[in-house]
Amino acid sequence: MLSFAVFEENAPAFVGSAGQGWPLRHAHLFGADDVPVQAEVRYADGLIRCEKRGPESAGLSLQYPVDPIESLGSAGGVLTMQTCLLPERERPYLLSLELARHRLMLILNKLEDWALFDLPSGDPGMQLFERARRAFTEALVAHATDAKRNGSANPYCAKTDQLARRALSLAVLAGETLTLYQARSQFARRMSGELAAAAAKIATPPNALTDHEAAESRNALIGSVGVILPTPPQVGAVVGPELFSPALCRAVSLTCDFVTMPMRWVEMEPTEGKYLFAKTDKWIEWAVRTARVPVVGGPIVDFRRGCVPEWLYIWEHDYETLRELVYEHVKNIVTRYRRTIGTWTVCSGLPVNANFTFSFEQIMDLTRLVVMVVRKLQPSAKVQVQIDHPWGEYYSYSPRAVHPVMYAETINQAGINPDLFALRVEMGQPEPGRSTRDLTALSALLDRYATLDRPLSVTVCAPAQTSNGTPLSPVHLTDPGYWRRPWSPEAQAAWMTQVFGIAASKPFVHGICWDELYEQPAAPGGEAESHHHGLIDGAGAPRPALWRLGEIRAAIRAKTSPLTLPEAVQPGSLA
pLDDT at 466: 83
Helix, strand and coil percent figures for the chain, each rounded to 5: 45, 15, 40
Please, which pLDDT band fits residue 219 given cuts at 50, 70 and 90? Answer: low
What gap in Å lies between CA 85 and CA 56, rounded to an integer? Answer: 9
Instruction: Please give the Cα distance from 565 to 550 (Å, whole number).
Output: 11
Strand order in the sheet with 47-52: 39-44, 47-52, 2-5, 93-94
Using the 8-state DSSP alphabet, how is residue 375 labeled?
A: H
Cα separation, 526 vs 206, in Å, equals 67
Among 299, 313, 315, CA closest to 265: 299
**Confidence label for 525 from pLDDT (cuts 50, 70 and 90):** very low
Task: Give tens-digit pLDDT for 536-550.
Answer: 999 999 999 999 999
Task: Map out the domains of the chain as residue ranges.
Answer: 2-188, 232-258+419-518+537-562, 262-381
Amino acid of residue 493 = A
> DSSP letters along 271-294, please?
BTTB---HHHHHHHHIIIIII---
Determine the pLDDT at residue 490: 96
Residue 208 binned pLDDT confidence (cut-offs 50, 70, 90): low
How confident is the model over 168-191, as pLDDT tens digits?
Answer: 999 999 999 999 999 999 999 999
- 19 band by pLDDT with thresholds 50, 70 and 90: very low
Confidence band, pLDDT 50/70/90 cuts, at residue 149: confident
Would you state the pLDDT for residue 15?
34
Distance CA 488, CA 490 (A): 5
Q: Provide the CB-side half-sphere exposure for 132 (13 A, CA).
A: 30
The average confidence (pLDDT) of the chain is 89
Q: Is the pLDDT of residue 432 over 60?
A: yes
CA nearest neighbour of 382 among 450, 334, 452: 334
Element holding 446 (H helix, E strand): helix 439-450
The pLDDT of residue 328: 97
Confidence band, pLDDT 50/70/90 cuts, at residue 9: low
> Residue 11 has what pLDDT?
43
Nearest by Cα to 326 from 381, 267, 277, 368: 368
526 or 287, which is more confident?
Answer: 287
Nearest to 224 by CA among 173, 185, 176, 180: 185
Chain centre distance of CA 527: 28
pLDDT at 327 over 80: yes
78-92, 108-122, 206-220, 311-325: which range is least confident on average?
Answer: 206-220
Q: Of the segments 137-146, 329-338, 465-474, which one has the largest average pLDDT value?
A: 329-338
Q: What is the arithmetic mean of pLDDT over 370-393?
A: 97
For residue 14, is pLDDT > 80?
A: no
Within 10 A of 385 (CB to CB), how many other CB atoms are there?
25
In eight-state DSSP terms, residue 519 is P
List CB contacts of 199: < 8 A, sequence separation 6 or more: 217, 221, 227, 228
Q: What is the pTM of this model?
A: 0.94
**Residue 331 scores a pLDDT above 90:** yes
User: Residue 322 pLDDT more than 90?
Assistant: yes
So what's the architecture of 262-381 in CATH? Alpha-Beta Barrel (3.20)
Using the predicted structure, report yes or no on whether residue 299 has a pLDDT greater than 80. Answer: yes
Q: Helix H segments across 210-349?
A: 211-220, 246-255, 265-268, 278-285, 319-337
For residue 213, pLDDT beyond 90: no
- pLDDT band at residue 200 using 50, 70 and 90 as cut-offs: confident
Query: What length is written for the chain?
Result: 575
Residue 194 has pLDDT above 80, yes or no: yes
Place 526 in a pLDDT band, splitting at 50, 70 and 90: very low
Q: What is the pLDDT of residue 91?
A: 87
Is the predicted pLDDT of residue 20 greater than 60, yes or no? no
The alpha carbon torsion through 510, 264, 495, 517 (nearest 10 deg) reads 100
The span from the CA of 384 to the CA of 365, in Å, is: 16
Q: Is 542 helix (H, G, I), strand (E, B) or coil?
A: strand
